[in-house]
Amino acid sequence: MKQTLCLLGLIAGVMTGCAKLDVEVQIPEGPSRLVVEGLLTPGYPAEVMLTESNTLQDELVLLAVWNARVSMDTDTGTIATRNILYKKTDRRIMINYGSVDTMREGAHSYFKLNITTKDGRTLRAATKVVSPVRIKSVELNKENIVTHHDLLGNEPRYLRMYAATYKQGKVAMSKSMLYQQGPGTGTSCVMPLSNYQSGTDSITVTLFHIQKEYYDYLTSVENANSAFSDPLLNPEEIISNITGGLGIFTYYTMDKVRAK
């Protein structure tokens, strides 16, 4: 009897003495970093968004960096930029440093980005031009969209395809995919897409010829985002070509067609 009482007392002590605890998670906070997304495309000015990254405790807003010196050296001179924050509605991006003149196809062979912020931090990056890409034809199949392009050659090439369907002028469905192609892999990009044609007013397809650096950057952004929202995946560092910061400085060409 004495032993039984002792046992019951021990169990009661355990049950009442231990309160349920919630695990508090303190998010590690790192220093903010300068982020550059500089895009060079024929037909548009040289456009750069220079921001600072948010710490995890900050509100999620775009932290634009003002009054930096941003220029690009090319084989034909230097391109200066102006610090004006504006929204490019045609490209769907925010810009805070842009050149006055538009880029011309074949006018340059390389670009070197130089940024010095007001507080003396410097960023460097470089990119080479890629050849223009043209969409030869688009097949709208039941379960996919196939885009045929005119890029040939033995060098590996990197492409991005974006397809959007519209209903009453608004995007109803969109998808983008990255492609790595080389000799023998053909000149077409296949995008699986189901039930995308029903009820759509129009379909546009955009094909980008991009640099390997941009391909890696976009892949790492996608992977990092996936890992962020899904614990099943491993975290991935952003693959950047910016020395002293984070982001991408790249040149690409594109072609856009209305397929329907």
Partner 1 sequence: MRIIACFIVLLLATGTATAQVTTTSKDTSQHTAQPRKSDTLVRVTVIGVKAPTPSANITLSREDIVRTGSVLGEANIYEALQKQAGIIHTTEVNSGLFVRGLNAGNTGMLLDGVNTFSGNHLLGIYPPANADAFSKVQLLKDNIHPKYNGFLGSYLLLETPDKVPDSVRGQAELGILTSKLGVQAPVIRNKLGIISNVRRSYFDLISNTYNRLNKGKADYSPLPVYGFYDWNNTIVLNSRAGLFKLNTMSSGDRLSMDDSQLNLDGHWKNLTIGINWQYQLTSGLCLTVNAGTSRYQADASYKSIGRQLQNEVRESGAGADFHWQLDKSYSLDYGLFAKSYRLSMTSSSLDAADSTQQHITVDKRAENIGAYIYTTIAVTRHLQVRLGTTVSRYKSDKPFTALAPTFNMTYTWYQQAINVSINRQLQYAHLYVPTGIQLPINIWYPSVKNAPPADAWHVTAGYSRAFGHKIKASMAAYYIRQPHQTEFLDKNYFSSLDFKTVQGAGASRGVELNAYYTSSQWRLEAHYTYGKTTGRFPGINEGQAYPLPYDIRHKADMVIQWQFTPRWTFSLSQYVQSGGVITMPTGLYIHQDADLGDGGLQPVPVYTVRNNYRMPLSHRMDVSVKHAFDLGKIRCSWTAGIYNTYSYQNPYFIYFKIRQTEDGERYLQAKTKSILPMVPFISLHTEF
| Ranges within 182-211 binding partner 1 (CB under 8 A) | 190, 192-194, 204, 206, 208
Q: Label residues 63-87 b or e (16+ Cβ within 10 Å = b).
A: eebeebebbbebeeeebebebeeee
In the complex, least distance from residue 51 CB atom to partner 1, rounded to whole angstroms: 6
Return the DSSP state at 23.
Answer: P
Please name the amino acid found at residue 249: F
Whichever of 108 and 240 has its CB closer to partner 1, that residue is 240
Half-sphere exposure of 240 (CA within 13 A, CB side): 19
In the complex, least distance from residue 143 CB atom to partner 1, rounded to whole angstroms: 3
Whichever of 108 and 253 has its CB closer to partner 1, that residue is 253
Window 135 to 174, contacts with partner 1 (CB under 8 A): 141, 143-144, 162, 164, 171, 174
Window 22 to 51, contacts with partner 1 (CB under 8 A): 22-25, 27-33, 35, 37, 39, 41, 49, 51
Taking the CA atoms of residue 61, residue 39, residue 176 and residue 59 in that order, the dihedral angle to the nearest 10 degrees is -10
Whichever of 238 and 257 has its CB closer to partner 1, that residue is 238
The stretch among 120-128, 132-140, 151-159, 219-227 that binds partner 1 (CB under 8 A) is: 219-227
Can you tell me the distance from the alpha carbon of 240 to that of 243, in angstroms, rounded to the nearest whole number?
8
Whichever of 7 and 152 has its CB closer to partner 1, that residue is 7
Window 94 to 123, contacts with partner 1 (CB under 8 A): 94
Whichever of 11 and 107 has its CB closer to partner 1, that residue is 11
Can you tell me the distance from the alpha carbon of 104 to that of 41, in angstroms, rounded to the nearest whole number?
8
| Residue 38, H or E segment | strand 34-40
Q: 247: which 2 tokens?
A: 């982001």
* Chosen residue from 83, 131, 200, 226 binding partner 1 by CB under 8 A: 226
